[in-house]
Each structure stands twice: as structure tokens, then as C-alpha cells.
């Protein structure tokens, strides 16, 4: 008999009832060190006192009003995002998938408003993940995500990730947009080289193509910069944000330049819940904390410490691990086996990790994880690795 909850997830047999910083406490009282952070969501850990105070304070005032009215909390978060990024304007969503939908619509609408409505093709990349809506699966195009869900939305072409020759050959002055994650998360913590991102920007400029960056997983301080593309010193025209921006409250956003957003006039897009006062109040608090240069510098320092210890772990288990991947606290252990066994062995050592494609074990801790917890994490990963080696 089918379970009352639609069985679309492969769930581990553990449930959590509360959390404290980098620790998640299960219903049986077991404390797990959380290196998944709800898949890169809980950037400030569990039950962060500032976020709890902000959420409960806002909950006592007003939760929801509708975008029929001005929403001061939304305007404040938009101000913070615009002040701290390339963007001139922001639309709020409830998730990364909704951000992907709008990014696609915005790019196509731009060309429509430019009098070029046939300019619809969006170039995307293998290993990409932009969400599970019909548009987002068509964009990513992997067999696993699209099988049985056709007909797919047309107008996407997938290229090999990081293959600049393929991009040069595919892009033209009829390409609507290039849509790419600076660091693929689900795809296995695969990092686009800064030089490649600069080259993509230059190609887009040359052909007039819009550049859409999906920073749903890599954004909000995870790499040690507010957004990963900042390392390359170039900016997108449109950017998708979600996950960390709400610190655990469902929130997403599309950021754009005034030019790229030119087609999105009143009536072209909307959302009942997107930009609600609760989510935006929390989002502003997250931004206040995470966008602080001192906080970001600390992420960079902790990432250096973690990475160094992980290199030691890889060296200690050469039969299991190949390399450390990623940037900042968006880290991956490239494995010589499917990472599922390591995730399972991690449960026995009370540590939470996340599997990804390309045989990669993802480590996405809260950005404020302590040095002590980083050391503890590596001790537990070492034990989990030994357990897998011993079969
Ligand atoms: C890069 C990227 N884009 C989009 C999404 C979809 O976000 P959501 O699950 O919030 O809809 C994800 C989720 O994992 C993601 O990692």
C-alpha cells in the first residue's frame, strides 16, 4: 500500500525533533553533527537565536498580506540584495525552482520586448540541477529527471559542463541566454573555472546573450564570498537565489539588472506567497549577518581549516577517496565508490552528509560551524571511511 506521504524520496530511517547550531537531535535523543545543513539551507545553523527572534517577532505582527499591497519587509530585503550585488531589482519566490521558472521567463520576455520573440534558446549544461518543475527539468535535461514527464518545454540545449569549445560552437546572436551554476551542487561539486566564467561572460557580451547564474546552492556566503561568481570578477544579468537566503525559512529570489528585467512589467509574473513578510523579515536578518565582510572572511578561514583536514582524510584513505572538491564551505569528497555507503556509515558515526552525482559526498555545513566541530567532523568521517573500508 502506498505511504500516506507520496513516496518520491529515499529517506533515511531517522527523524529530528530539534537542533542547536551545527547539531541536529533525533527523536531518540541521538545528537548528529549536521554537515548537510538541510542541503545548504541552514547557513546559520539550527535554532539561531537572531533568526528565531526575528521570525517570532514578525509572526506576532503580520504573516501574510498579498502582493496587492506594498510589503515593507520585502522592500527592505530587496534593498539589501541590491546594495550588496550587481542587481538593480529583485522578485521574491518561495524556492529555487520558482526562481528558475522566472529566470527562464524573464530571459525570453527580454527578447520579446526587444522585438525578437523567436530568440528563445537557452544553453544549459550536463550535470545541472535547476529544480523539478517542468521548465527546470527541461533545462537540466537529464534522463533521470525527465523520463516519463514529456512533452518537455522546448528551447533548451545541454552542453558538456566546462567545455568552452562546445559553448563557442553553440552560442550565436540568436541565443536567448546561457544558464549555469558556477559550482554544480547536485552534479557533484563541480566548479567552473574562473577563467571559463569570464569567457562565458565575454561570449554573452559579444553575442548579446543574457547570462543567468544559478546560485541557489553556491550563494549566500557558502563559498566565502556572498556569491560564487564574485571570484571571477564578472556579474550575471539574471541570478537565481534560494536555500541559504531564508536560513531555513522557504524563500527564493531572482535578481536582475534593470536591462534584463525590462520585459517584466506589471501583470507578467506573480506569486501568492512570494515575498511574504515572514520570509522577508528572516531573509533580511540572514543578509545582515552573512553579507558582513567579517562573517565572510570567517567562512573563508573555516573553509581553509576544513579543507586542510579533508586533504589529510583523502591521503589516509586512498582506496576510498580521490580528491577534495569545491570552494569555501561548499565541499565535496570525490569518491572511488558510490557515496551512498559513506552516507550510511556516517549515520552510525552520528554525522550527516549528502550524496551527489559523480561519486561525490557533499559537505555543506552551517557557515558558522565552530573550529571544534570541524575537527570533530573529520574524526567522524575518518571513522565512517574506516567502517566502509572494512566492509
Ligand atoms: C543549483 C540549484 N538550483 C535550483 C534548485 C531547486 O531549488 P528548490 O529545491 O528550492 O526548488 C536547487 C536545489 O537543490 C539547486 O541546488
Q: What is the CATH number of the domain that holds 273?
A: 3.40.640.10
Q: For residue range 92-115, list pLDDT tens digits in order.
A: 999 999 999 999 999 999 999 999
Checking if the pLDDT of 241 tops 90, the result is yes
Residue 175's closest CA among 221, 126, 209? 209
Q: At what angle do helices 293-316 and 277-290 cross, to 10 degrees?
A: 80
Taking residues 119-126, report their average pLDDT: 98
Task: Tell me whether residue 274 is annotated as binding.
Answer: no
Pairwise CA distance, residues 368 & 387, whole Å = 29
Contact 51, 41 (CB under 8 A): no
Checking if the pLDDT of 350 tops 90, the result is yes
Computed over its alpha carbons, how large is the radius of gyration of the chain?
A: 21
Q: Which residue segment(s) compose the domain that 198 sits in?
A: 50-290
Task: Tell me whether residue 209 is annotated as binding.
Answer: no
Quick one: what percent of the chain has pLDDT higher than 70?
100
Q: Which atom of ligand 1 lies closest to the CA of 98?
A: 11
Task: Tell me whether residue 129 is annotated as binding.
Answer: yes
Q: For residue range 336-348, list pLDDT tens digits in order.
A: 999 999 999 999 9
Pairwise CA distance, residues 141 & 127, whole Å = 9
**In the structure grid, which three cell numbers stand for residue 351, read together?**
554525522
Residues 215 and 357 in one domain: no
Task: Out of 248, 267, 290, pick the residue that ends a domain.
Answer: 290
Task: Tell me whether residue 125 is annotated as binding.
Answer: no
**Ligand 1 atom 13, closest CA:** 131
Pairwise CA distance, residues 134 & 156, whole Å = 12
Q: For residue range 321-337, list pLDDT tens digits in order.
A: 999 999 999 999 999 99
Q: For residue range 7-26, list pLDDT tens digits in order.
A: 999 999 999 999 999 999 99
Q: Which atom of ligand 1 lies closest to the CA of 185?
A: 16
Q: What 8-state DSSP symbol labels residue 85?
A: S
CA of 14 to the centre of ligand 1 (A): 23
What pLDDT was estimated at residue 268?
Answer: 98
Residues 146 and 276 in one domain: yes
What pLDDT was estimated at residue 391?
Answer: 86
Contact 152, 142 (CB under 8 A): no
Handedness of CA 83, 88, 91, 96 (dihedral sign): negative
CATH number of the domain bearing residue 352: 3.90.1150.10
Q: How confident is the model at residue 316 (pLDDT cuts 50, 70, 90)?
A: very high
Write the CA distances from 335 to 189, 241, 320, 362, integer angstroms.
Answer: 12, 28, 6, 11
CA of 29 to the centre of ligand 1 (A): 30
Tell me the average pLDDT of the chain. 98
Residues 271 and 128 in one domain: yes
Among 38, 104, 243, the mutation site with the greatest number of ligand 1 atoms within 8 A of its Cβ is: 243
What's the residue count for the chain? 391
Q: For residue range 168-216, list pLDDT tens digits in order.
A: 999 999 999 999 999 999 999 999 999 999 999 999 999 999 999 999 9
Task: Out of 265, 290, 315, pick the residue that ends a domain.
Answer: 290
Residues 125 and 21 in one domain: no
Q: For residue range 249-279, list pLDDT tens digits in order.
A: 999 999 999 999 999 999 999 999 999 999 9
Amino acid at each position: 500500500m502506498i505511504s500516506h506521504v507520496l513516496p518520491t524520496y529515499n529517506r533515511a530511517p531517522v527523524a529530528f525533533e530539534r537542533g542547536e547550531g551545527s547539531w541536529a537531535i533525533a527523536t531518540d535523543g541521538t545528537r548528529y553533527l549536521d554537515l548537510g545543513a538541510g542541503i545548504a539551507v541552514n547557513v546559520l545553523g539550527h535554532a539561531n537565536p537572531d533568526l528565531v527572534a526575528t521570525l517570532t517577532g514578525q509572526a506576532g505582527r503580520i504573516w501574510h498580506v498579498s502582493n496587492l499591497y506594498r510589503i515593507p519587509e520585502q522592500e527592505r530585503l530587496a534593498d539589501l540584495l541590491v546594495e550588496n550585488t550587481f542587481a538593480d531589482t529583485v522578485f521574491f519566490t518561495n524556492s529555487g525552482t520558482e526562481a528558475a521558472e522566472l529566470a527562464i521567463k524573464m530571459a525570453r520576455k527580454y527578447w520579446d520586448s526587444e522585438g525578437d520573440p523567436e530568440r528563445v534558446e537557452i544553453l544549459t549544461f550536463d550535470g545541472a540541477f535547476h529544480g523539478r518543475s517542468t521548465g527546470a527539468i527541461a533545462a537540466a535535461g537529464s534522463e533521470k529527471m525527465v523520463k516519463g514527464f514529456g512533452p518537455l518545454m522546448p528551447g533548451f540545449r545541454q552542453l558538456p559542463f566546462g567545455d568552452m569549445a562546445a559553448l563557442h560552437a553553440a552560442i550565436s546572436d540568436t541565443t536567448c541566454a546561457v544558464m549555469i551554476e558556477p559550482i554544480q551542487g547536485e552534479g557533484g561539486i563541480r566548479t567552473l573555472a574562473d577563467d571559463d566564467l569570464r569567457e562565458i561572460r565575454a561570449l554573452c557580451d559579444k553575442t548579446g546573450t543574457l547570462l543567468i547564474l544559478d546560485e541557489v546552492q553556491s550563494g549566500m556566503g557558502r563559498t566565502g564570498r556572498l556569491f560564487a561568481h564574485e571570484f571571477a570578477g564578472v556579474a550575471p544579468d539574471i541570478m537565481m537565489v534560494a536555500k541559504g537566503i531564508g536560513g531555513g525559512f522557504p524563500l527564493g529570489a531572482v535578481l536582475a539588472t534593470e536591462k534584463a528585467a525590462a520585459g517584466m512589467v506589471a501583470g507578467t509574473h506573480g506569486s501568492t506567497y512570494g515575498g511574504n513578510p515572514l520570509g522577508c523579515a528572516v531573509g533580511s536578518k540572514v543578509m545582515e549577518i552573512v553579507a558582513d565582510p567579517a562573517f565572510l572572511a570567517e567562512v573563508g578561514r573555516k573553509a581553509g581549516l576544513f579543507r586542510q583536514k579533508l586533504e589529510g582524510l583523502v591521503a589516509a584513505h586512498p582506496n576510498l577517496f580521490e580528491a577534495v572538491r569545491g570552494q569555501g564551505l561548499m565541499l565535496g569528497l570525490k569518491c572511488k565508490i558510490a557515496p551512498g555507503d559513506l552516507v550510511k556509515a556516517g549515520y552510525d558515526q552520528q554525522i550527516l552528509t549528502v550524496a551527489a552525482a559523480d561519486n561525490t559526498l557533499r559537505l555543506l555545513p552551517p557557515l558558522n560551524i565552530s573550529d571544534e566541530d570541524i575537527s570533530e567532523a573529520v574524526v567522524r568521517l575518518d571513522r565512517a571511511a574506516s567502517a566502509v573500508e572494512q566492509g
